[in-house]
DNA sequence: ACTAATTTGTAAACGGCCATGACGAAATAG
DNA sequence: CTATTTCGTCATGGCCGTTTACAAATTAGT
């Protein structure tokens, strides 16, 4: 577990606030929100000492945040120490909520998360989406969103934004799906298909999964490499608490890192890419299984049961992952590598070979490998929380929106 | 970690100015300096419109910067347009200077750069440093620094900091050389050997080379991957205009990215690392040459002359580089890849094979490869400029220092 | 039980910083 | 020669956090 930060500092948001007196005030509002959010309940004086402002300044900031409905006063604290007890502040359970959505290969999911970080509404629809037209899928997703939003509104929440996790490459405009091979989508502008009216952010599921790990994972450091696999293999690079997106938004394509330069040809144009060894198709073939919806469970079950062919397939996938990760670790020097998504569930059979490669190839300076506790829930939670974080990072936006 | 705030603090520690009114003023002072520095000469009104402040505010900022000796008034501008002509401001050619130093495998170099970015003093000593004790080498380096500082001081410059480029891995404290295989140095604390009194920053030569490319290179974008090779192969990742250093400061170890997982064993513990194919030793062996000091010139000369064995060696090195870079590009999605250091001089024979691999393996989404115009001068210039940038990024420090 | 000490939250005065608006100065346009 | 435009500066005002002071609420000590 990482030591509690001496100061609850909001990670520098995507779009920095202007460097003016008003921008300073907005950043201080954010610092108050983050401090209270991190501790759950805090007095004004405690916030002041934590973020380095005076009690008087914090008082005016808190007044404003209460007026906007982002904080609420819980009443006097239980007096344990000497002196007048403070009045406990907490992040409001009403007000803005983050709507997260996930487009999986064989399911759709939507949830609403309040400012406290609690999931307040959910909706899921199972069924394969592969090859279906984006319009149809988005229509169904929109219906789920409507249901979740209605449920949230009945709990006095209002949607502050919609974030959609997609199994594919997303352009930096956070609207266009450039390529989602497992859905057969290409250059699809989700911005025009999804309901307008709220801020919208579309991103790779690996990215949202990594953010969930950063924000919700136990002891996840601000510098790590998050690897996830559904059908393709994606990774997300988090540096200093921020996602590394790349010029075109395509960073993290671990699946196409060359593992054996003379290996089998890949659809990407290369040879011997990681996906040729650790991708779903490759593992299925090596395990001698047919494609199914609940593939991960099946693989885990067979491996558990002692199916030697399945175990060998997973072992080989782990080896390939280890080779690719050796390159990534040498290049990025992350604090840890986190296995998420489907890899989390299969980690008992992947990890030994993976770690053998990784530590064997990096003598001494090995990078620890951890398994995500969020597993397949990561992307959806990360999406919803990304909206919540946007509000915490700049609480003043809600004032403009009323 | 108890570090005195004044001494041994890395100039570009990345630590942002405090978020207060005074911090805001300091940032605005920096914006004025950057604006004037970028244009060479600018009136107060032009600065104001460029950085988004009012003329009145800029006036007071400029007054202060002139009082500190960082800006100087050149007098009225040539009136070409309507209205009263402005008074041209320029960055002062006197005052603080950045001292850059480079410890190469077969040379030492020091230079002084003024705030305008011009090199005002140099000193070089040739001779192999491999295997010599750090104390002895640093003693010689210190002598060179003294000469350069004396020359700078006679030109009314005073050293604002010392930055040292080293061919090896440097810890994040910017003082300790963890491993420099080509010097045979291990866990050497340069901070205690180098002259005190100034802020000190030790860093990898690849990092400083990348910064030089960022700051001085023609048209270098803020997101790129800089590859350099002296004996080992180092890379530096620049994201959004900032170096990615990694948790331990070891990011960019491209030389130990696996290229052929079953290839020859490497000192790092791995097999088939890039260095086994494109490192100096490997290229020498393939080319059938003996180690020499001016190896790069020799290789270029032979290749130019048509020596087929040398050309094949460089071609193979390019291929291996291309494979390793394919992985890096997939992971980081940089805007360009820049070849610097010794690779720049050999690029005519490396590039064809390198680009063939890179574009062939990344179908369509290829990443352009550029060659550094700075070549072997990069690290030294980057080091000196890093000190200058630190002053431009926070001009108020010079006021504290007098 | 009563006083002293400590801590919290708020209010008023203060100082730093930039914006606004006005003014003189120095050029061009007609 | 006048009107116009632009530059640099000054006085004023608003925003924002700090300083200082004070009442309220609790514990510690007698």
Pairing status of strand A157-166 against strand A95-103: parallel
Q: Which chain B residues are within 8 Å of A256, Cβ to Cβ?
A: 326, 330, 361-362
- CA A250 – CA B212 distance, rounded (Å): 26
Taking CB atoms and an 8 Å cutoff, what residues of chain B touch A261? 259-260, 323
Widest distance between CA atoms in chain A: 73
Mean pLDDT over B39-47 rounds to 97
Give just the sign of the alpha carbon dihedral A331, A334, A336, A341: negative
**Which residues in chain B, range 80-139, keep a C-beta under 7 Å from any nucleic strand C atom?**
81-85
A125: which 2 tokens?
């629809």
CATH of A219-373, one of 3.30.420.40, 1.10.540.10, 3.40.50.1100, 3.20.20.140: 3.30.420.40
Q: What pLDDT shows up at residue B401?
A: 75
Can you give the pLDDT at residue B15? 52
β-partners of residue B102 are B109, B165
**From the Cβ of A78, is strand C under 7 Å away?**
no
Distances (CA, A) of B249 to A330, A390, B177, B386, B387: 11, 30, 11, 17, 19
- Separation of CA A19 and C1' C14 in angstroms? 24
Indicate the SS3 state at residue A157: strand
Nearest to B197 by CA among B4, B393, B66: B4
The verdict on a CB contact (< 8 Å) between A328 and B324 is no
**For residue B239, which residues of chain A lie inside 8 Å, CB to CB?**
239, 244
The tokens of B138 are what? 């640093």
Cβ of A362 and B249 within 8 Å? no
Contact between B164 and B148 under an 8 Å Cβ cutoff? The reply is no
Torsion of CA B313, B314, B315, B320, to 10 degrees: 90
How much is the pLDDT for A402? 62
Buried b (16+ CB within 10 A) or exposed e, A266-299: bebbbbbbbbbbbbbebbbebbebeeeeebbebb
Q: Report CB contact under 8 Å: A332, B246.
A: yes
Q: Are A147 and A133 in contact (CB under 8 A)?
A: no
Position A293 confidence tier, pLDDT thresholds 50, 70, 90 = confident
Contact A291, A276 (CB under 8 A): no
**Dist. CA B144–CA B164, nearest whole Å:** 12
Q: Which neighbouring-strand residues pair with A176?
A: A189
Q: List bases in chain C with any atom under 7 Å of a protein Cβ.
A: 5-12, 15-22, 24-29
User: For A95-118, what is each residue's pLDDT tens digit?
Assistant: 999 999 999 999 999 999 999 999
Residue A138 and residue A103: Cα distance in Å, rounded? 9
Average pLDDT of chain B, as a whole number: 92
Chain A to chain B, count of Cβ pairs less than 8 Å apart?
A: 148
Q: What are phi and psi of A9, to 5 degrees?
A: -110, 125
Name the 3-class secondary structure at A315: helix
| Angstroms from B162 CA to nearest CA on chain A | 26
Inspect the interface and report whether the beta carbons of B24 and A27 lie closer than 8 Å. Answer: no
pLDDT above 90 as % of chain B: 84
Distance in angstroms (rounded) separating the CA atoms of residues B155 and B95: 9
Comparing CA positions, the residue from B102, B142, B140, B95 lying closest to residue B120 is B95
Question: Which two three-digit tokens encode residue B239?
Answer: 């994201």
Q: What mean pLDDT is predicted for residues A211-218? A: 96
Rounded Cα gap, residues B289 and B20, in angstroms: 61
pLDDT tens digits for range B50-75: 999 999 999 999 999 999 999 999 99
What class does CATH assign to B21-91? Answer: mainly alpha
Taking only the tens place, the pLDDT of each residue in B313-366 is 999 999 999 999 999 999 999 999 999 988 999 999 999 999 999 999 987 678
Cβ-proximal residues to A398 (8 Å cutoff; 6+ apart), any chain: A68, A69, A70, A95, A96, A160, A391
Q: Is residue A10 over pLDDT 50?
A: no
Highest mean pLDDT among A156-170, A356-370, B13-27: A156-170
Q: Give Cβ neighbours of residue B309 (< 8 Å, ≥ 6 apart).
A: B286, B287, B288
**CATH 3.30.420.40 intervals, chain A:** 95-210+379-400, 219-373
CA B259/CA B276 separation, integer angstroms:
9
User: Which of B53, B247, B363 has the highest number of chain A CBs within 10 A, making it the mutation to test binding with A?
Assistant: B247
- Chain A residues inside the 8 Å CB shell of B242: none
- The shortest C-alpha distance from B94 to chain A (Å) reads 30
**Nucleotide of closest approach to A78 (CA, C1'):** D26
> What's the whole-number average pLDDT of chain A?
92
B204-215 pLDDT tens trace: 999 999 999 999
Closest by Cα among A114, A102, A109 to A160: A114
Residue B370 sits at φ, ψ, to 5 deg, of -115, 160
The Cβ-side half-sphere exposure at B252, using a 13 Å CA radius, reads 33
* Matching CATH number, A95-210+379-400, of 3.30.420.40, 3.80.10.10, 1.10.8.60, 3.40.50.10470: 3.30.420.40
| Whole-number pLDDT of residue B131 | 87
A360: distance to nearest CA of chain B, Å? 6
Using the Cα atoms of residue A154, residue A155, residue A156 and residue A161 in order, give the sign of their dihedral: negative
What's phi and psi for B279, nearest 5 deg? -75, 165
Q: Report pLDDT digits (tens) over A199-210.
A: 999 999 999 999
B69-95 pLDDT tens trace: 999 999 999 878 899 999 999 999 999
pLDDT in tens, A265-285: 998 899 999 999 999 999 999
Q: Does domain B218-373 have CATH number 3.50.50.60?
A: no
Confidence of residue A232 (pLDDT cuts 50, 70, 90): confident
Every domain range in chain B assigned CATH 3.30.420.40? 95-210+379-400, 218-373
The answer to whether the C-beta of A75 is closer than 7 A to strand C is no
Ordered alpha helix ranges (H), A217-307 = 275-278, 280-287, 295-305
Measured CA angle at B275 (ends B270, B280), to 5 deg: 145
Q: Is the dihedral of CA A41, A46, A51, A57 positive or negative?
A: positive
Q: What is the pLDDT of residue A9?
A: 36
């Amino acid at each position: 577990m990482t030591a509690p930060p001496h100061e609850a500092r909001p990670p520098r948001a995507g779009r920095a606030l202007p460097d003016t007196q008003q921008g300073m005030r907005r950043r201080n509002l954010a610092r108050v929100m983050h401090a209270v959010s991190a501790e759950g309940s805090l007095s004004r004086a405690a916030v002041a000492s934590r973020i380095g402002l005076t009690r008087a300044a914090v008082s005016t900031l808190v007044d404003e945040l209460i007026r906007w409905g982002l904080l609420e006063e819980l009443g006097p604290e239980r007096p344990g120490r000497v002196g007048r007890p403070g009045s406990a502040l907490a992040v409001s359970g009403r007000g803005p909520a983050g709507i997260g959505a996930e487009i999986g290969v064989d399911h759709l999911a939507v949830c609403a998360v309040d400012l406290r970080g609690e999931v307040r509404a959910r909706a899921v629809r199972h069924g394969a989406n592969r090859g279906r037209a984006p319009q149809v899928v988005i229509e169904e997703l929109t219906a789920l969103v409507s249901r979740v939003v209605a449920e949230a509104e009945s709990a006095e929440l209002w949607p502050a934004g919609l974030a959609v996790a997609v199994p594919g490459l997303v352009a930096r405009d956070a609207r266009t799906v450039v390529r989602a091979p497992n859905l057969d989508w290409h250059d699809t502008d989700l911005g025009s298909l999804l309901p307008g009216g709220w801020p919208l952010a579309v991103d790779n599921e690996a990215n949202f999964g990594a953010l969930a790990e950063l924000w919700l994972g136990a002891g996840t450091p601000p510098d790590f490499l998050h690897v996830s696999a559904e059908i393709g293999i994606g990774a997300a690079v988090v540096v200093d608490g921020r996602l590394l997106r790349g010029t075109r938004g395509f960073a993290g394509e671990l699946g196409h890192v060359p593992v054996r330069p003379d290996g089998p040809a890949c659809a990407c144009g290369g040879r011997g890419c990681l996906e040729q060894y650790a991708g779903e198709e490759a593992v299925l073939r090596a395990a001698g299984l047919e494609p199914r919806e609940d593939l991960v469970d099946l693989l885990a079950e067979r491996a558990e049961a002692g199916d030697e062919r399945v175990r060998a397939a997973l072992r080989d996938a782990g080896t390939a992952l280890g080779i690719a990760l050796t390159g990534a670790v040498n290049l990025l020097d992350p604090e840890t590598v986190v296995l998420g998504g489907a890899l989390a569930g299969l980690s008992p059979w992947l990890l030994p070979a993976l770690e053998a490669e990784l530590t064997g190839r990096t003598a001494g300076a090995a990078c620890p490998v951890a398994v995500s506790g969020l597993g397949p829930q990561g992307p959806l939670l990360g999406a919803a929380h990304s909206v919540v974080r946007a509000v915490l990072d700049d609480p003043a936006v809600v004032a403009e929106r009323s």
